[in-house]
C-alpha cells in the first residue's frame, strides 16, 4: 500500500449503523431563558428534548425516559447538580448515561467537582459559541453510541432506593475523615433522614452512621495489616478525633488494641512464611 493510501485509511473508523431514531437529550436547569436557548439549538438538529426545572424531577425523568445524554445545571434550588449526578451515577438504570455539566465561566471548582463525580464534559454559561455547544453534545452522543446505549435494567426494588444508598455511601466514603452531618447529607442527596435511614437498614441492617463506623474500622484494620503507617496517623485518616478514641472503638469491635492487632497479624505472617 502506498504511503498516500496509508495516510488516507489508517485513521478511518468503522462506521456504525445509523440511528433509527433521533437521540433524546434531557435538560435539567431552573433557568427558563437558558433552557429556551438550548431547546432552539437542539431542535435545529432535530434532536428530541425533555425538560426538567429541578434536580429531583430531572433524576426521576432520567429513570423513566432513559435519555441518550443529560445536560445538567450545577446551581439549582433543592437538589443541586452535584446531588443529582450522585443519584444518576448511583442508579444502575442511569449510571451509563453521559452527563454534561452547565456551569458559569468562573466556577472552575464546580467543573472539577463535576468531572470527579462522573460528568463527561462541561459547557460554560452563558453560551458564547453555539457551534461549540452543539459540537460537545454531538461528540458525546457519538461516543455513547459507539460504546453502546445506556443499560435498560428492570428492577423490583423501590425506585431510587438502591441508588440512594449507593450515592450516600459514595459521599460518606469520599469524606471518611470528615463526614457530613446527617442534615448536610440528606440535603446533598435531596432526601430526608427517615427515608435514608430506612434505605440503609434494608441494605445493611445498620444505621447510616453505624455503617460508616464499620467502614472506618474495616479500613483501619486493613491499614494495620498491610502498611507500616503509625497508629496515630491511621486514627486521623479514618476520622477519629484522637488515637485514644480510635483505640477504644477498635478494641470494642475486635477485642484487642490496634497495636496488639498489628503485632498478631505480623506474627501470623511470619509463621506462615516459615511453614
pLDDT tens across 215-237, in order? Answer: 899 888 888 888 878 899 889 88
For residues 44 and 210, give the distance between their C-alpha atoms in angstroms, rounded to a whole number. 52
Contact 55, 79 (CB under 8 A): yes
Q: What are 73-101's pLDDT values in tens digits? A: 998 988 899 999 999 988 888 888 999 99
Write the DSSP string, 12-33: PPPPPPPPSS--EEEEE-S-HH
Decide which of 113 and 19 is more confident: 113
Which percentage of the chain shows pLDDT scores above 70? 84
For residues 264 and 231, give the distance between their C-alpha atoms in angstroms, rounded to a whole number. 15
Decide which of 273 and 97 is more confident: 97
For residues 253 and 249, give the distance between their C-alpha atoms in angstroms, rounded to a whole number. 6
Q: pLDDT value at position 178? A: 84
Mean pLDDT, rounded, of the chain: 82
257 by Cβ neighbours in 10 Å (0-12 / 13-18 / 19+) ranks as middle
Q: pLDDT value at position 275? A: 52
Ranking 37-46, 50-59, 139-148 by mean pLDDT, the lowest is 139-148
CA nearest 117: which of 144, 135, 95?
Answer: 95
- Per-residue pLDDT band at 7 (split at 50, 70, 90): very low
C-alpha 39 chain-centroid distance: 27
Contact 54, 80 (CB under 8 A): no
- Per-residue pLDDT band at 125 (split at 50, 70, 90): confident
Grid cell for residue 258: 490496634
CA nearest 183: which of 193, 173, 170?
Answer: 193
Contact 79, 28 (CB under 8 A): no
Query: What's the distance, Cα to Cα, between the start and end of the chain in Å?
Result: 62
For residues 116 and 114, give the distance between their C-alpha atoms in angstroms, rounded to a whole number. 5
Decide which of 116 and 13 is more confident: 116
Q: What are 132-175's pLDDT values in tens digits? A: 889 989 988 888 877 664 444 333 344 444 788 888 988 888 88
Q: pLDDT value at position 272? A: 58
User: Is residue 263's pLDDT more than 70?
Assistant: yes
Q: pLDDT value at position 190? A: 87
User: Is residue 14's pLDDT more than 70?
Assistant: no
Find the Cα–Cα–Cα–Cα dihedral 258, 234, 168, 25, rounded to 10°: -140
Find the Cα–Cα–Cα–Cα dihedral 83, 89, 94, 97, rounded to 10°: 100
DSSP percent split of the chain into helix, strand, coil, nearest 5: 55, 10, 35
Cis before residue 203, ω within 30 degrees of 0? no
Q: pLDDT value at position 24? A: 92
Q: Which residue has cell 475523615?
A: 177
Q: pLDDT value at position 163? A: 83
Amino acid at each position: 500500500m502506498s504511503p498516500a493510501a496509508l495516510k488516507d485509511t489508517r485513521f478511518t473508523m468503522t462506521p456504525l449503523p445509523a440511528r433509527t431514531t433521533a437521540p433524546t437529550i434531557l435538560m435539567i436547569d431552573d433557568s427558563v431563558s437558558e433552557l429556551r436557548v438550548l431547546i432552539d439549538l437542539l431542535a435545529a438538529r432535530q434532536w428530541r428534548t425533555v425538560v426538567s426545572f429541578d434536580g429531583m424531577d430531572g433524576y426521576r425523568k432520567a429513570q423513566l425516559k432513559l435519555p441518550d445524554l443529560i445536560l445538567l445545571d450545577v446551581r439549582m434550588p433543592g437538589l443541586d447538580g452535584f446531588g443529582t449526578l450522585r443519584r444518576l451515577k448511583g442508579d444502575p438504570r442511569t449510571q451509563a448515561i453521559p452527563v454534561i455539566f452547565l456551569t458559569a465561566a468562573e466556577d472552575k471548582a464546580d467543573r472539577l467537582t463535576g468531572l470527579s463525580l462522573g460528568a463527561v464534559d462541561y459547557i460554560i454559561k452563558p453560551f458564547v459559541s453555539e457551534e461549540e455547544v452543539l459540537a460537545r453534545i454531538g461528540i458525546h452522543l457519538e461516543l455513547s453510541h459507539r460504546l453502546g446505549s445506556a443499560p435498560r435494567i428492570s428492577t423490583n426494588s423501590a425506585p431510587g432506593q438502591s441508588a440512594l444508598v449507593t450515592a450516600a455511601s459514595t459521599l460518606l466514603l469520599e469524606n471518611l475523615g470528615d463526614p457530613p452531618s446527617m442534615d448536610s447529607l440528606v440535603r446533598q442527596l435531596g432526601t430526608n433522614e427517615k427515608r435514608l435511614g430506612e434505605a440503609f437498614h434494608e441494605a445493611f441492617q445498620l444505621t447510616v452512621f453505624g455503617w460508616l463506623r464499620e467502614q472506618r474500622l474495616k479500613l483501619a484494620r486493613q491499614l494495620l495489616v498491610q502498611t507500616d503507617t503509625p497508629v496515630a496517623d491511621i486514627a486521623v485518616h479514618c476520622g477519629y478525633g484522637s488515637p485514644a478514641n480510635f483505640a477504644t472503638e477498635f478494641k470494642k469491635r475486635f477485642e484487642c488494641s490496634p497495636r496488639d492487632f498489628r503485632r498478631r497479624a505480623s506474627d501470623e505472617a511470619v509463621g506462615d512464611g516459615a511453614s
